[in-house]
Structure 1
Amino acid sequence: MIEGAELYGHLMDSRIAGQVATPREHNLRNYARFARRDPDLLLGLDPAGSWTEAEVLALLARRCGVSPDPARRQGQDTIDPELTIRALDAMAAVLRETAAARGRVLLGTGHPSRLLLFYRQLAAGLRAAGCALLTPARGQRFAMHAPEGARPARLDYVDDVGLVRVYEGNPPIGAPGSAAPDAVGSATPVHTHSPQPVRIALAALAESGHNRPDLLIGDHGWACGAGRLGVRSVGLADSNDPAVFVAEAEGEVAVTVPLDDGVRPDCYGLLSAYVLQQAGMSQ
C-alpha cells in the first residue's frame, strides 16, 4: 500500500516535484513563446483565450506550483508535490471509470526516454482490467515537422504505448502501413512535441470505420492533439510545457499532472503504481 506520505517523500527526493531541475528562465521563455503562439509550444492546441505571458504564469503558479512572481527571472523553479498527488488521484479516478466500462484506450508519449515506463505500467493495468488498448497506424511513415525541418519518421508502439521513431537517413522501403520489425527497431524513439502522431492514429481509426478511443493517456502533442479533437485525455506535463495546462483550463484535457519529466525513468514507477492502486487496478 503506497501512502500519501511515501509518495510525497519520493516526489521530493527524486525531484519530480519540489525544487526541480527546470531553470526559471526556461519556464518564462516558454510562457512567452506560448503567448506568441509559437507552434512548438502549442502542442496542437488552438487556445480559445488570449493567454498573455502574465496569464500563463498565473495559471502555472496555480496548477503547477511555479513561483507566481514575474520579477523572479533566474534560478530553479518549483512544482508543488501536493498538486502532483492531487492530479494523480484525479487521473486514477478517470482510469477507474474507464476500466469499469471496459473502455478503449490509446496511450502515447513524446518523451519515451523518460516516461515510457510510466505508461507501460498503466497499459498493463488497463489490459488486465479488460480494456482494449489501441495501436492504430502502427508502422505508418510520415514526415515529422520540427523547427529544424521535416524528418522521416514512423509511428510505433512499445507494449501498446505509442511513440515516434526518426530515421537519420532514408526511411525503410515498403508500403506506408508496413515494415519489417527489424527496420522499425533500427530507428531511435525520439522526444517530440508534435501532435502529428496522435492525429495520424486517430485518422487511421476513422478510416478503418472504428470509433474514437474512450480515453487518451499521454503528454505533449499526444494529450493536446487528442483533446483538441474531442477525445477525453489525461496527461503529464512539466512546468515548461504550458499548453497542456492551458488545454486543461479550457476543458480540452481532463487531467494534467504537473511533474518534472526529465528525471531517471525508474523514478516514475512509484507514480504509476500509485495511480493503479488508487484506481483499484493494482496487480
Structure 2
Amino acid sequence: MTRAHADRRKPVEEPAVPPADFRSYYGRPILKQPTWKNPDVPGYLFSGGLAGASAVVAEFARATGRPGLARTARLGAAGGALAGVVLLVHDLHRPARFLNMLRVVKPTSPLSVGTWILSPFSALASAAAASELTGIAPALGRLAGVGAAALGGPMTSYTAVLLTNTAVPAWHGAYREMPFVFGGSAAAAAGGLGLVGAPVAENAPAARLGAAGAAVELAAGALMEHRLGLIGDRYRTGAAGTCMRVAKALSVIGAAGALAGRRHRGVAAASGAALMAGSLLTRFGVFLAGKASAADPRDTVVPQRARAAEADRAQAPEGTG
C-alpha cells in the first residue's frame, strides 16, 4: 500500500474546540453608522434623480413640439437640482464644505465625481428654466437645456454609486442592481411630474416613461432583494420594509393609471403624484435599510463567513472532507 493510499484512509480529525459562532464583541455594531441625516439625504437622492430625468424629458419634449411638457420638465429639472444642492449643503452643515469639494477632481471618489456632476447640471438646468420663464436669450437657454440633458443620465444614477461604494452591507452588496433601481425610479418620477404638469394632449411620452421607469424599478428591486439573501431582509422589515412596500404599491397604481387614464386630467394628475411618491419612498426605504444593516453585526459577519467557507471549499483537494 502506498503512502498516498494510507493518507486517504486516515480519519479526518475533528477539532477539540468547536468553531466560534459569535456576532461581534458583546453584540456591538462592527461598522460605524452613516452620519448622513434623515430626511436630508433621502430627499437629496430623490430630487437629484427627478432633476436628471426631467432634463432629458424637457429636451425630448422640445424636439417633438410639446411646449407644455417641456416647460414642466425644465422647471422640474431646475427645481430638483436646486433642492438637491440645498439639502446637500444642509447635511454638510456649512456651505464651505460643499465648495471645498470643488477644489479638486478625484475620479476614484464617487463623491467628488458626483459633486462635479451636480454643480454644472444645476447651473445649466437653472439657466434653461430661467430662459423658459422669461423668454430671454432663447438660443442660450436651449443650449443650456441640451447641456443639462447630457448630464441627466449620470444625475439619475451617480447617487447609487455613492451608496454602494460604502461598506454598508445592504448598500454595497447591491452594487449591481442599485443603479437600475435609482435610474428606473428617477424615470418614474420624471414621468409622474409630466403627468401632473403637462396638458393631456402632450402627456403621452410622460405616461410611457413613468410606467417603464416603474417597471424597471420594481424588477431591479426584486432582483436586488433576492440576490442579497439574508441582507435582503433589510428591505422587507422594519421602517425600510414599510417604505418599500408602500412605494411598490404606489408605483404599480401610478403606472396603471398612467397607461389607462392619462387622457383624463384628474386620473393623470393622481397617477403622476403616485409615481412621484413611490419614487420618493423608494429612496427613504433604501436609506433606512442601509442604516439598519450598518447597526446589525450579523449583516457583516455572516456574509464574510459564507464567502470564507466557499473559498475554503474551492481550494480543498478533491475527495477531502
TM-score (normalizing by structure 1): 0.29
Larger radius of gyration: 2
TM-score (normalizing by structure 2): 0.27
Greater fraction of residues in strand: 1
Greater fraction of residues in helix: 2
